Structure 1
Amino acid sequence: MTTTRSVQRLQQTLSHVQPASAPVQWSIVAGPTEPELLDITLGELLTIQALQYGNYECLVFPWTGARWTYANLKEESERLALGMLAMGIQKGDRVGIMAGNCEQYISVFFAAARVGAILVVLNNTYTPSELHYALDHSGNSQRFISPPPKYKLEGTNSINPSYLGCKVMFITPRIGRHNLEEVLQRLGPQPKDIGTSKALEEIVILRGTYENFPTYNDIIARGASQSTYNYMLQERESSLRPDDVCNLQFTSGSTGNPKAAMLTHHNLVNNSRFIGDRMKLTSFDVLCCPPPLFHCFGLVLGMLAVVTHGSKIVFPSETFDPKAVIHAVSDEKCTALHGVPTMFEAILSVPGPKPANFDTSNLRTGIIAGAPVPRPLMKRLFEELNMTEYTSSYGLTEASPTCFNAFTTDSIHTRLTTVGKVLPHARAKIVDAKGNIVPVGQRGELLMAGYQLTKGYWNNPEKTAETFVTDSDGTLWLKTGDEASFNEQGYCTITGRFKDIIIRGGENIYPLEIEERLTAHSDIELASVIAIPDQKYGEVVGAFIQLSTGKTRPSDEDLRRWTRETLGRHKAPQYIFVFGEEGVSSTVPITGSGKVRKVELRAMATEALAKRAQ
C-alpha cells in the first residue's frame, strides 16, 4: 500500500513537471453555416434585387456613358433574353462572348442565364487559334465521371448535345488595342466552320456595327417582333434550377490545353454573396472594378458581389487603364477598389499631377488577389488610397472562385501574411502526399469541399477524375494543386504551388504550352520554361532551350515573335537561356524519371542574370 501511494505521489509530481502534451490540432477547417445558402437562379436574384433596389444605380461605365439602375439591368436583360429565344437558343446551348468591359457584356450574362443557356466567357487576349480551340472545345458530346450521388454530375440530360461548339458568339471588332477584325473576316456573319466545329450559327457584334454582321440591337428587335416570346421566357425561366450549369470558365492545366470549369447558378450566387459579406458591402457602397469581366475576379468578386448586396459597380474603362481608375475613384466617390498587385502599382505610379478633385477619402476596402501583396505596396494602399480595410483573397476557377477571404477587421499582419479564413458552407483541409491530413502549421496540398465546387470540366472526364477525390465519408474534394498551411485560428497561408504555374501580374501562365510552341521551332530540340522573379509583374516567363544539332541560335526577339504567333504576348519569354552558352551548363539537369529539374534551372537563371547585370 505504501509503495502504491509513493507511485501515485511520484506520478502527480511528474504531471506538474512534465504536463501531458496537448492533443494534435489537425489542418481541417469548416466555414460557418450561417447565413443559409440561397437556392435561386441568377435570373431570380436579379428579379429580387430589382424589386428591392430598382431605382438604385447598379452599373456605371464612364467610358461609354452608361448608368443603369437595377431596374434598367433587369429590363435590358429581359429584352435580350427574348431576342435569344427568337434566335432559337435552347436550354443548355452554349453562347460565347469575347469583349471588353461594357454594359452589354453584363446584359448578355444575365440574358443567357434567364434562357438557360451556358455562357462561355472568352479571354479577350486570345489569339485566333486559342479562340478557335475554346469555341470548338465548348461543344462536343458531354462525358462525365460519376462522383457520389450527392454531387452527381448531370450528364447530357440537362445539355443539348445535338450540335458541336458554341451556337452564337457575341464579339466586338476591337478590344482596346486588340484587333479582332481578322477573326470576323475569316468567319463571316454566318460562319460555316470554325476549327473542327460546324455549329457556330451566328456572330453578333456586341457594340456598334461592323460590315453586315447582325448587332446586339438587331437581336433585341427580333425578340420584340412577337409577343409569344414573353410567354416562352416565362416558361423557360420556370424550368430552370439553381443546380443548372450556366457558365463555362476556362482555366489551363498541366496538359497545356485550357479546361472549361462548369459553374452553376448556385455556385455563383452564393459565392459572390459571401465575398460581399466579407467586404461588408451595403447598398451605399460603390466598387471600382478594373479587372476584366471574362475573369472570375471581375465577374464574380466584382459584378455579382455588388448585385447580391444592392451596391453600385464602376468599370472605369474597356481594358485596364490606371488613369481611368483614378478618375473613376474620384468622380464616383468609390468606397472599394479591386485589382491584382500590378494594377495597384500602376495606379499609384501614374505620372503627372492627379485630377484637381482627386479624392480617396471615401475608399475603405477592396480585394487584392492573384499574387502576394508586397509590404511597401500595402503601406501605399493605406497612406495614398485610404484602403485601411482592404482584404486579401484566395480562390480558383473550379471553386467559383473564392475559397478564403480576410475580414476587414483582421490585423494588417494577418491580411499581409494570410488569405483569411474559409468562406461559409465551405470546407478545407491540408494533406500530405499520401492524402493524410497534416497537423496545423505543417505544409501540404490544399483541398476544398462544399457548395461552390464546379460540376467538373466540360468534355474532359479524365482531368475531372484527376482533380477530384472522394473521401471515406463520401465527400467530394477539389485538389487545388497549391501548397498551404493553417494556423491555430484557421487562417490560411499559401506557401507555394504544386502546379507549375507562372503568375504574371495576376494572370496564370502554364509553361507546357510555351514549351510546346518553342520546341515546334525547327532550330530548337528542347525547351523548359520557368518563372523568373520580377519587380513589376511578380513573375515573368524564362525559357531554357537546347539547340538542334547543327542549328544556329535564333535571336531572342525571333523566338518571342515565334511564341506570339499562336500564344498571347504575355506568354513570350522575357528571358532566354541556351544550354552551353553564357555560363549555363551544357548538360540538361534531369531527374531519374527523365523530367527536367526546374529547381536547378531556377538557380542557373539566377546565376546567369547576376552575371548579365555585372
Structure 2
Amino acid sequence: MNPSTEIKAFSKASILVGPTEPSLWNLTLSQLLKQQTEATPSGQCVVFPEAGYRATYQQLYQNTLAVAKGLLAAGIRRGDNIGIFAGNCPPYVELFFAASHIGAALVVLNCTYSPSELEYALKHSECRLLFISSRIGRISSQEVLQMLENEDDRASLAELQEVILLKKSSQWAFREYADLIRGGGGISDSQITTRMCTVDPNDMCNLQFTSGTTAAPKAAMLTHNNLVNNGRFVGDRMKLSEKDIVCCPPPLFHCFGLVLGLLAALTHGSSIVFPSETFQAQEVLNALSKERCTALHGVPAMFSAELELLQPDVDLSRLRTGIAAGAPVPRKMMMDLRKTFNMSEITNTYGMTETSPASFMTFTDDPVEKRLSTVGKLLPHMRAKIVETNGEIVPTGARGELCVAGFALQIGYWQNPEKTAEVMRTDENGIRWMHTGDEAVFDNEGYCRITGRIKDIIIRGGENILPLEIEERLVQHPSIIQASVIGIANSKYGEAVGAFLQQRASHERPSQEELGKFVRETLGWHKAPVHVFWLRGDEEFPKTGSGKIKKHVLKERGTELVRKEMRLSKL
C-alpha cells in the first residue's frame, strides 16, 4: 500500500489522523465539470435508461449552461436556494451543476415527504424555486401539487416564487422545465461566465435534510469543497478511472447517490448509470447487464432485494467493485456480494450527511476480513477520535462515541445554531469535531468498526447488547432474508431483544424456540430474541427514502404488539 494512504494510529488513545496527501482540490462544482469536459469531452458521463437519456461530458456541460441561463432569467441570485422534489432523473444532475454555475444552492428534498413535510422543508430552507415531478416512479405527487396550488397553503411559503414541473402534465398549470430553459435564451454566455467568477469553492452549494425521527429534520449546509473532495477521495479508494461504469440505485436526494455516486464518478472521468427513478431491484439487474457496469452501490436492503431476484442470464462479468453503506452490512451478505455478484473489490464506507458524507472507507485491496468487519480507514485530511460520555478519549480497543474532524464537515445546520452547537464542538486546540452519535472502536492498525447507533443499543439488566451482531447471526439462518433487531421495554430487565424478520419464500418458518437455539450457538443466551415478529407476505421493512430501515418505527410497532399480546393474555 502506498505510504501516503497509511493512517497514523496512536496505541495509547483512540485518536486517528488521516493522510495529508494528496492535497485538497480547491474547486467549485462548475469548475470540476468544465475541467472534466475539457479532459474527456466525448466520454460517456451520465445515463438514465428509464428516461432514454445518455450524455457525454460535453453534452452534460452544455445542458447545464442552458439550465443556468434559465435560472438567471428567472431571477435567481448568488446565494439563493432552489429546491428539487423528484426521483433520479436527468434534470436532477443538470440542476445540481446549473445552480453551482451561478452561485445558488440546490436543496435536495426527500421524494417520500408528505405535503406537510415538504411544506416545512420549503419554508425552512427558503427556496425561491421548486422543481417537481408530477409522478415519481409509480407514485403520484398529486397531494403535494394540490398543496402547492392552493393559495392558502402557499401563503406560508413567502420565499417560493415559482413551482416548475419537470415532466409535461396537462393536469397542472405550473410552468414546465423546458419553458424555463427556453426562457434563458436571452442570457449571453458572458453573463454566465461573469456570474461563475463570483462563486467561491467554500460557498454553500447544497442543502441536505437529515433523516429526522423524533424531531423536525435539520438541513446540513455543504460546500463545493466538501462535496468535490469527498467524491474524489471515495473514487480514489474504489480505483475508479475513465473505464469504469458505476451503477447507482441510491437516490440523488441523499449524499450516497449525489456524492458517493455522481461525484465519485465525475471526479475520475467515469460514467454513471441511474437505473430508475426510484429503487427497482429488477431495473438494477437490467442496468448491470445491459450497461456492462463495473461498480454497484447500495444499502443492505437494496442488495438483499437484488440477490433475491438474480437470474443466471444477468451478465455481471465486468462487475468488480462498489460501495456498501448506509447501514451495517451483515457478514453473509458481504460474502454473497463477493461471490455471487463478482464484487471481489467491494468497499465499505462510513459517514453521515453532516460530513458530506464519507469519513472512513476500506480499500479495494484490504484483507477480506477487514472489509467484512470494519468500515476501513480515515479519508485524507480527516481526523477521528472515540470518547466517553464525559468527553475523555478512550484507549485503543475500547468503545465510545465516534467524533470526526476535517475538510468534510458541514458549515453547520441551516438557520439552527443551537443544534449545530450541540453536535459540533471545538476543542482546546481549535479543532472542530462532529459528534456522530455512533458507537465505534479503533484497532491498532487504524481500522474503525461501527458497533451501532448509541441510541439503538439495547440495555438489558445494565448490560449493553449490540443489535448488529444479532442481526448478522439471524440472517445466517436459511429461512431469513433480512433481520432488524430493536429493544422492547421490559419490566424486569429494562429492555428485551425484539427481532423483525423477513422470511425466504422457499423455506419453512422456524419456531421461536428454534431461532433462540440458533442464535445461542454463537452468541450469549441473553441475546436470543424474546419477541419475534415476522413481516407479512410481500410486506417490506419501513425505510427512509435512502433505503435505511426505520428502527424507531419498528420499535414503536413492536412495543404496541407486545402490549396487545399482554392485554389479550389477561382476558
Normalising TM by the smaller chain, what interval?
Answer: 0.7 to 0.9
In 2, distance between residues paired with 1:386 and 1:126? 36
CA gap 1:233/1:350 in 2 versus in 1, 3 angstroms: same
Question: Could you tell me which amino acid in structure 2 is paired with residue 216 of structure 1?
Answer: Y
Which letter does structure 2 place at the counterpart of 1:582? E
Aligned to 2:474: none
Distance change in 2, residues 1:231/1:54 (3 Å): same
Offset, 1:278: 0.4
Alignment of 1:407 onto 2:407: no
8 Å CA contact 1:192–1:198 kept in 2: the answer is no
In the aligned structure 1, how far is the partner of 2:135 from the partner of 2:361? 35
Q: Which of 13, 17, 37 does residue 26 from structure 1 map onto?
A: 13
Q: Which residue of 2 aligns with 1:364?
A: 320
Using a 3 Å threshold, how does the CA distance of structure 1 residues 73 and 201 change in structure 2: closer, same or farther? same
Aligned to 1:476: 432
**Residue matched to 2:500:** 534
Question: Which residue of the partner structure matches residue 150 of structure 1?
Answer: none
Q: CA deviation at 1:252?
A: 3.7
Unaligned 5+ residue runs, structure 1? 1-22, 139-164, 512-527, 538-555, 586-607, 609-614
Preserved contact between residue 31 and residue 422 of structure 1 (Cα < 8 Å): yes
Which residues of structure 2 form unaligned runs of 5+? 1-9, 458-466, 472-483, 487-493, 504-534
Q: Distance in 1 between matches of 2:332 and 2:98?
A: 43
Correspondent of 2:385 among 425, 429, 445: 429
Aligned-residue Cα RMSD (Å) equals: 3.0
Match of 2:139 in 1: 178
**2:156 is the counterpart of 1:196:** yes
CA distance in 2, matches of 1:66, 1:172: 16
Residue identity in the other structure for 2:145: L
Could you tell me how far apart the structure 1 residues matched to 2:123 and 2:307 are? 41
The one-letter code sitting in structure 2 at the alignment partner of 1:396 is M
Which residue number corresponds to residue 3 of structure 2?
none
The answer to whether 1:215 aligns with 2:176 is yes
Partner of 2:530: none
Decide whether the 8 Å contact of 2:16 with 2:383 is kept in 1. yes
Where do 1:237-276 residues align within 5 Å?
237-253=196-212, 256-276=215-235
* Residue number in structure 1 paired with 2:477: none
Report the alpha carbon displacement of residue 234 of structure 1 after superposing the two structures with TM. Answer: 1.3
1:582 is paired with a residue of what secondary structure? helix
Distance between the aligned counterparts of 2:566 and 2:142, measured in 1? 45
Aligned residue type for 2:54: R
Structure-1 separation of matches of 2:257 and 2:498: 27
Residues 1:120 and 1:531: Cα distance change in structure 2 (over 3 Å):
farther
State the secondary structure of the residue aligned to 1:220: helix
Q: Secondary structure at the match of 2:130?
A: strand
Decide whether aligned partners of structure 1 residues 576 and 473 sit closer, same or farther in structure 2, where only a CA change above 3 A counts: closer
Aligned in 2, Cα 1:327/1:579: closer, same or farther, shift over 3 Å? closer
Distance (Å, rounded) in 2 between the aligned partners of 1:299 and 1:245? 15
Counterpart-to-counterpart distance in 1, 2:393 and 2:135? 49
Given the two structures, how large is their TM-score scaled by the length of structure 2? 0.80
Which residue in 1 is equivalent to 2:285? 326
Provide Cα deviations, 1:519-563, integer angstroms capped at 9, x if missing partner: xxxxxxxxx9999543459xxxxxxxxxxxxxxxxxx99xx9xx9
Partner SS for 1:167: strand
Partner secondary structure for residue 273 of structure 1: helix
| Structure-1 separation of matches of 2:43 and 2:301 | 32
Residue correspondences, number: 487
Does residue 377 of the first structure (1) align with residue 333 of the second (2)?
yes
The answer for the alignment partner of 1:85 in structure 2 is 72
Tell me the distance in 1 between the aligned counterparts of 2:95 and 2:406: 28
1:113 to 95, 100, 109: 100
Q: Residues 94 and 193 (structure 1 numbering): CA distance in 2 closer, same or farther, change over 3 Å?
A: farther
User: What is the match of residue 236 of structure 1?
Assistant: 195
In 1, the alpha carbon distance for the partners of 2:239 and 2:361 equals: 12
The answer as to 2:296 corresponding to 1:313 is no
Q: Are the aligned partners of 2:360 and 2:448 in contact in 1 as well (CA < 8 Å)?
A: yes
Q: How does 1:294-305 map to 2 (within 5 A)?
A: 294-305=253-264
Instruction: Evaluate the alpha carbon distance shift between residue 488 and residue 195 of structure 1 in structure 2; reply closer, same or farther with a 3 A threshold.
Output: farther
Structure with larger Rg: 1
Asked if the contact 1:193/1:199 (under 8 Å) is kept, the reply is: no
Alpha carbons of 1:24 and 1:389: their partners in 2 closer, same or farther (altered >3 Å)?
Answer: closer
Q: 1:56 aligns with which of 43, 47, 51?
A: 43
Contact 1:404–1:423 (CA under 8 A) maintained in structure 2: yes
Percent identical residues: 51
Secondary structure in structure 1 of the residue aligned to 2:337: helix
1:136–1:194: 8 Å Cα contact kept in structure 2? no
What secondary structure is seen at the aligned counterpart in 1 of 2:210? strand
Report the Cα distance in structure 1 between the residues aligned to 2:115 and 2:400, rounded to whole angstroms: 39
Looking at structure 1, the residues matched to 406 and 178 of structure 2 have their Cα atoms a distance apart, in angstroms, of 40
